[in-house]
Structure 1
Amino acid sequence: MRTVTDDERRARIGVRHALATAAPGVEAAVRAVTCLHATEASSIYLSAYARSRADRASISDALFGRRTVVRQLAMRRTAFAFPVDLLAAARGSASARVVRQMTARLAKDAELAGIDDGPAWVDRRCAEALEAIREAPGTTAQLRARLPELNTRIAAEGRPTVLAPAGSRVVSVLAASGSVVRGDNAGRWQVSRPVWTAVEQWLGEDPGVLDEREGYRELVRRWLWSFGPGTEDDLVWWLGATKTAVRRALDDVGATPALLEDGTPAWLHPDDAEEVRLDEGWAALLPTLDPTTMGWRRRDFYLGNRGPQLFDGAGNAGPTAWWNGRIVGTWTQQPDGTVEVVPIEPVPRAVAAALEEEAARLTAWFDGDVVATGYVPPIVRGRVSRGSGEASAR
Structure 2
Amino acid sequence: MGERHIGVVERRARLALRHGLAAGAGAAGPEEVADRLVALHGSDPTTVFLGVGARLTDPAQAVSATERALYEDRTLVRMHGMRDTVFVFPAALTAVVHASTGLAVAARARAKLVRDMAAAGAPDAAWLKEVEESALAALARRGQATAAELAEDEPRLRERFAYAPGKSYEGVHTVSSRLLRLLGVEGKVVRGRPLGSWTSTQFRWALAPAHRELDVADAQRELLGRWLAVCGPATEADLKWWTGWRAAEVRRALEALGARPVSLDEGTGYVVAGDAEPVTAPERPWAALLPALDPTAMGWQQRDWYLAPGLRPALFDRSGNVGPTVWWNGRVVGGWAQRPDGEIVWRLLDAEGLGREAETAVAERAELLRRALGGTRVTPRFRTPLERELAA
User: What TM-score does the superposition give when structure 1 sets the normalisation length?
Assistant: 0.91
> How many residue pairs are counted as aligned between the two chains?
378
Mapped partners of 1:210, 1:194: distance in 2? 28
Q: Deviations over 1:264-322 (max 9, x none)?
A: 01110113132111132111111110000111010000011111221122211011111
* Counterpart code for 1:391: A
- Tell me if structure 2 keeps the 8 A contact 1:103–1:122: no
For 1:51, what is the secondary structure of its paired residue?
A: coil
Q: Which residue of 1 aligns with 2:385?
A: 378
Residue 16 of structure 1 corresponds to 18
Q: For residue 160 of structure 1, report the CA deviation from its aligned partner.
A: 7.0
| CA positional deviation for 1:126 | 2.3
1:321 to 312, 326, 339: 326
Asked if structure 2 preserves the Cα contact closer than 8 Å seen for 1:182 and 1:197, the reply is: yes
Residue 93 of structure 1 and its aligned partner are, at CA, apart by 1.9
Instruction: Give per-residue Cα distances to partners, 1:11-45, cap 9 Å, x unaligned.
Output: 11100100112022211111111110011111111
Where does residue 295 of structure 2 map in the other structure? 291
SS state of the match for residue 4, structure 1? Answer: coil
Provide the rounded CA distance (Å) in 2 between the counterparts of 1:370 and 1:317. Answer: 19
Please state how far the C-alpha of 1:115 moved relative to its aligned partner: 2.4
For 1:206-355, what aligned pairs fall within 5 Å after superposition? 206-262=210-266, 264-278=267-281, 279-305=283-309, 306-346=311-351, 347-355=354-362
Going from structure 1 to structure 2, the CA distance change for 1:76 and 1:122 (only over 3 Å counts) comes to farther
Equivalent residue number for residue 97 of structure 2: 90
Helix, strand or coil at the partner of 2:342: coil
Residue deviations 1:361-392 (CA, integer Å, cap 9, x gap): 000000121011122222344x3xxxxxx537
Deviation digits for residues 29-72 of structure 1 (CA, Å, limit 9, x no counterpart): 11111110011111111111111134121111111122111111
Structure 1, unpaired ranges of 5+: 201-205, 384-389
Matched AA of 2:391: A
Structure 2 CA distance for aligned equivalents of residues 215 and 155 of structure 1: 37
- Per-residue CA deviation, residues 174-233 of structure 1 (Å, 9 max, x unaligned), is 111111111222220111332211124xxxxx1223221122111101110111000111
Question: CA shift at 1:116, angstroms?
Answer: 4.9
Cα distance in 2 between the residues matched to 1:46 and 1:380: 16
**Structure 2: how far apart are the matches of 1:39 and 1:149?**
28
> What CA distance in whole angstroms lies between the structure 1 residues aligned with 2:176 and 2:163?
12
How many Å apart are 1:159 and its aligned residue? 6.3
The farther-off stretch of 293-302 and 142-151 is 142-151
1:187 maps to which residue? 196
> Which of 103, 114, 136 does residue 130 from structure 1 map onto?
136
Question: Match for residue 387 of structure 1?
Answer: none
Structural RMSD (CA)? 1.7
Q: Percent identity?
A: 37
Unaligned runs of 5+ in 2: none
Code of the residue aligned with 1:352 in structure 2: it is E
